[in-house]
Amino acid sequence: MSSLASKQGPRYRHTADESEPYETIGVEKLTPVIGAEISGVDIGKLVSEDARSNRQIDEIHRALAENLVIFFRDQHITPQQHLAFGRKFGELHIHPAAPHEGDDPALMKIYADKDSPRVNGEGWHSDVSCDLEPPMGSILHIKQCPPSGGDTLFANMYAAYESLSDRMKAYLDGLTALHDGEPIYRGLYANYGVADRPSYPRAEHPVVRTHPVTGKKALYVNSGFTRHISGIPRDESDAILNYLYKHAENPLFQCRFRWSENAIAFWDNRCAQHRALWDYWPHTRAGTRVTVKGERPV
């Protein structure tokens, strides 16, 4: 029997969304727990200043809060429009290591082909959680897809936290963990000709954070950046983190997005993790990512 199951059923029970209907966008859920495809939006037009676009931005923000990751198909946008869309949600974040496309360092390059030694985001993670103020959200625009494969998985960290036992929640309450970018980023982008920096970000964050918009608690450790829980023996930390990583990857918390050319994914790093699948070698997958600055986790 699954660790989430009992005679009464799963510990995490998703309740139906009873919110008001959307007025300017269509929202079709991928799963009851996480993910939705958005229709009725032309992002190229949306970035212009008018009353309708402002209303749509508000509803997109709401859809993100309710679904954690949202997807847009057939968005033929320029790099400038991609950047402008990100700025509708806040100041843009500059990646501490990755190469960028063109002149603007906020436009991160996403590229993998038959000669790539690795791809972006192969393991479960929350983007740049090693920053003192990790990103709020990431907006990925894929322009070239492989003929098959290359899906991205997303997992709901509210659900991961809520399904923990009360004893585990009590144990984790008040704990912090070190997130360190050094082991991940050093040498990572050498194939792009990117020189290493003298140092990379590291920060301590709560193991469980409270989302500043929804007020809900989310598990905030990930196997990509989290190194150890502070203030407890290292073997105990390893055991707890390994349990939490495995728990967070439960398929009950996930959705899976199959990319198409000119699709966009916008995810909330504060309450979701993601993993990109590299199952399309030797084919090419390419695009750009814009990331919105966040706040220090509490």
For the chain, the straight-line distance linking the first and the last C-alpha, in angstroms and rounded, comes to: 34
Residue 97, both tokens: 């290591």
211 among known catalytic residues: no
Q: Does a structural domain hold residue 143?
A: yes
Number of structural domains found in the chain: 1
For the stretch 26-63, pLDDT in tens is: 999 999 999 999 999 999 999 986 656 789 999 999 99
User: Strand pairing partners for 153?
Assistant: 256, 275
Q: Is the CB of residue 195 less than 8 Å from the CB of residue 230? A: no
Q: Which of 10 and 203 is assigned the larger pLDDT?
A: 203
Q: Is residue 209 part of a domain?
A: yes
193 in a structural domain: yes
Residue 202 is part of a domain; what is its CATH number?
Answer: 3.60.130.10
Residue 128 lies in a domain: yes
The string of pLDDT tens digits covering residues 189-237 is 888 888 899 999 999 999 999 999 999 999 999 999 999 999 999 999 9
Q: Is residue 210 part of a domain?
A: yes
Q: What is the DSSP code (8-state) at residue 45?
A: H
Range in 76-80, 166-170, 184-188 with the lowest mean pLDDT: 184-188
- Answer yes or no: is 242 within a domain: yes
Q: Which residue has the higher pLDDT, 9 or 255?
A: 255
Rounded distance between C-alpha atoms, residue 10 and residue 143, angstroms: 39
For the question of residue 205 being annotated catalytic, the response is no
pLDDT on residue 3: 43
Tens of pLDDT along 84-129? 999 999 999 999 999 999 999 999 999 999 988 877 778 999 999 9
| Active-site residue (options: 93, 95, 270, 289) | 289
Residue 125 is classified by DSSP as B
Q: What residue type is 104 in one-letter code?
A: D
Residue 57 lies in a domain: no
Catalytic residue among 95, 127, 179, 209: 127
The residue from 95, 141, 209, 274 that is catalytic is 274
Given 125, 141, 270, 275, which residue is catalytic? 125
Residue 259: pLDDT over 80:
yes
Question: Which amino acid is present at 55?
Answer: R
Residues near 16 by beta carbon (within 8 Å), at least 6 away in sequence: 32
What pLDDT score was predicted for residue 162? 98
Within 8 A by CB and 6+ apart from 56, the residues are 24, 25, 41, 46
**Would you list the DSSP string of 235-293?**
HHHHHHHHHHHHHHT-GGGEEEE---TTEEEEEETTTEEEEE----TTS-EEEEEEEE-
Is residue 75 situated within a structural domain? Answer: no
Q: Is 227 known to be catalytic?
A: no
Return d(Cα 28, Cα 22) in angstroms, integer: 11
pTM reported for the whole predicted model: 0.93
Residues in the chain: 298
Is 100 noted as a catalytic residue in this protein?
no
In Å, the largest CA–CA distance within the chain is 58
Domain of 128? 94-259+267-292
